[in-house]
Amino acid sequence: MFIDVVLNPAEIALLPQRDLSRTTCAVFDVLRATSSMITALAHGASEIYPVCTIEDARAKRLQLPNALLGGERNGDPIEGFDVGNNPLDYTGFSGRQIITTTTNGTVALRSCEHASAVLVGALLNLDALCASILSKKPENVLLVCAGTFETFALEDAYAAGLLVTMLGGAEVSDSALTVSAMARQFSSPLQALLAARNGRALANRGWKEQVEFCAMTSKFMAVGTMVGGVITTQ
């Protein structure tokens, strides 16, 4: 197994041209898109449709009129949508379909859609994610860090670094080695998330409880798998 890590949106933009046919991708947008998705799936959401734009979301809603619209732009809820991007709001959607669009996370997921497998990663499901990857015995693993706007995001790299260590015994790229070493510099997931730009911004808005929730490691056993642009649990 060879593990590589994509660290920022500039690298993500190149993924559609990359041969991922023998690669399992795990996408992290810890604060908060993939944490919200994992929370929804763990509480029984049936399907999640990640799309890149607000217009795509509204068009998809015309096809699925009973689906919920969720997501954010610049961290804020989108006008006219049913739910924002607070993972604590995603516990009551058992049996529901959710169409979601976020600034970075959904773009990262759709950029990987031609991979052999696409998994939704967060601290919330880290043990289950690791077990899922090991069970697949992939030739290549690519950990995709969604980032913030156009920049690197510490919280995504931290989660990826923990997973690199957990997978163990694999050949790793320089970026995988770097995130693994970085993750060891923090005494706890919450310390890492509150040190991150996004964590500080959320805390400053009075949303520290969301950061604390996203920092809970392996709270859920749900692993989202995206096939044909639709995320379901394994």
How do the pLDDT tens digits run along the chain, 234 residues long? Answer: 999 999 999 999 999 999 999 999 999 999 999 999 999 999 999 999 999 999 999 999 999 999 999 999 999 999 999 999 999 999 999 999 999 999 999 999 999 999 999 999 999 999 999 999 999 999 999 999 999 999 999 999 999 999 999 999 889 999 999 999 999 999 999 999 999 999 999 999 999 999 999 999 999 999 999 999 999 996
Whether the bond between 32 and the residue before it is cis, its omega within 30 degrees of 0, is: yes
Element (H, E) at 121: strand 117-121
Q: 120 has which bridge partners?
A: 27, 224
| Selection from 87, 84, 80, 106 nearest residue 31 by Cα | 87
Q: What is the Cα–Cα distance from 225 to 229, expressed in whole angstroms?
A: 10
| Selection from 108, 176, 97, 100 nearest residue 141 by Cα | 176
In the chain, what are the domain boundaries? 2-233
Ramachandran quadrant class, 47 (left: phi over 0; alpha: psi -120 to 50; beta: rest): beta
* DSSP for 83-106, written as a single string: B-S-GGG-SS-TT-EEEEE-SSHH
pLDDT of residue 169: 84
| This prediction's pTM | 0.97
pLDDT of residue 234: 67
The matching CATH number, chosen from 3.30.1330.40, 3.90.1170.50, 3.90.1560.10, 3.30.300.250, for 2-233 is 3.90.1560.10
